Amino acid sequence: MGTGSSGARTLIRALPLAILDVVATFMAYIVGAWGLRVEYQVLATNGIYAYIALLAAINIATYAAFRLYTSLWEYASTNELVRVVAAVTVGALIGDVLAALIFGARFPWRVYPIAWAIIVVVVGASRFAIRVYSGAKGWRVFGVTEDSGLPRTLIIGAGETGALTVKRMLEGDRDMVGAPIGLVDDTPAKVGSHVHGVKVLGTCDDIPQLAKAWRIDQLVVATPSATKDQRDRIYDLCVQAGVRTLTLPLLRDMPHDMDSKIPLREVDISDLLAREEVELDLGQMGYVAGKRVLVTGGGGSIGSELVRQLLPARPAQIILFDIYENTTYELYHEIAKPAAEQGTDLKVFIGSITHLPAIGKVFQHYKPEVVFHAAAHKHVPLMERCAREAIENNVFGTLNVVRLAHQHQCTHFVQISTDKAVNPTNVMGATKRMDEMIVQYFAANSQTVFTAVRFGNVLGSHGSVIPLFRRQIPSCILKTRQVFHAEKPGVFALPANEMRAKKAVYPQVNSSQAGGLRMPRIAAVDCSAATPASGEFFAKRVFGAESALKAVA
């Protein structure tokens, strides 16, 4: 029944267009003959209407083959325009040949180009009228009326992404909710111009003043290709405006086939990282290319991203080893197809690094050549309460993996460590420092290259502290007017997000000596010039303007 109703709806949509195409065919040839003053010759021909009817039928069949009746013309683009021209051209050629064979005659050759042009215009206009009407449903003559009920929006960036944002808002896109009042852009030539009828009101420096003057409810940052310095400046201006700030994903995070569907999102702390992303150089991953690679903790947030970054280097085999089957299962199905397409064998083994027979079976059966050891208990407060488990898993579990890597003569062993191993003040940090000492010992006594790479907090990893900070910062501001700070006065350290953190692993390993402890640079925000209300500054700059304003109100 569902298929039948779908077919009926398609027929209902297609029938008016088909009728219009038939009328267009008759009109095109008759008008063409009349325009060339051969109408008496043509219209006097016996069977002329049957002749044109055949041409119309051929056009209908051709247009159907080119999907001109089943396309969603509400979303038509230049690709559909090309398809219309191609369909009309093919239909005209086939119709001329078949009609000549059947009737033994044809129109004067001068009629055909005029008829072709008329049909292209009528067929194309009928389809794109649907597109224009669909887009106009959400439009207003002067942008947006006061009673629209949507958040009054100032869009930052009048480029391609800004234009797409305006267009989607005007069309009433549920993933792009807002009433576009205006745009700002740092290109002076754009100021005063219009994007889909919405005016570019000024430059980015005018954001605070424009937000107040136009009673803006939300700002939308539509500059996905902006540099780090440009993003920092824009976000600081948004903070000064004191209104909700939304953004679109960075250009590198935008799927190529999803540009028109990506929703707005809140500004995330990773957007504020004060450094550009590390570009992964596959040349620095030569030690994994064509090798069998074991990733312990492969289903975890850190291990899984390591695996994703391994794929482009084309290892011969990736072995996922983890005690938790759910995330490992999800990762396996995420990467199984791309791994198979490039010839990388993907294996999964569920077990604990503390269970020597389990991890030993992996080494014996798969014979990994490179090991990335990310399996560990990482949650500081919980490990304080469960010190025995922390030691058993982090220390003795690591010792199992290290010994096996040495015994099976792996080429590289990479320990994912933490900055908490530096002069440790908690159980988790102490266990990770012991891991590093184990790695250093074997590095001095093994042919395997043993290396540890230290990281600070990783955004998005399981147990990340950032959600906790978001909950705690309002009360922290109210009570102390202060925020957390790093070791150096006036500097607030920001953790790296998962992808950036793991991309930093491979260059560190490639450039390190056996037993080396590597520490990728940690991004930081210099607040030495901040105002005395430092709590307010960081709450706005790092944790979001809206929550900060609520906290200090």
Residue 450 pairs with which residues in a beta bridge? 413
CB 383 within 8 Å of CB 363: no
420 is catalytic: yes
In the block, which residue shows the tokens 């205006």? Answer: 182
Task: Specify the DSSP class assigned to residue 393.
Answer: I
Q: How far apart are the first and last CA of the chain?
A: 58
Strand locations in 125-174 (E): 152-156
Cβ distance 97 to 151 under 8 Å? Answer: no
Chain-centre distance for alpha carbon 157? 19
Question: C-alpha angle 328/329/334, rounded to 5°?
Answer: 95
404 alpha carbon, distance to own chain's centre:
39
Task: Enumerate the β-bridge partners of residue 320.
Answer: 295, 348
Tokens 């269970």, residue?
355
CA dist 139 and 268 (Å) reads 31
Q: Judge whether 153 and 219 are in contact, CB under 8 Å.
A: yes
3-state helix, strand, coil in the chain (%, to 5): 55, 15, 35
Contact predicate 297/375, CB 8 Å:
yes
Q: Given the residues 167, 190, 378, 420, select the one marked as catalytic.
A: 420
The encoded tokens of residue 406 equal 């040495």
Q: Which residues share a beta bridge with 418? A: 455
Q: Which residues are catalytic?
A: 420
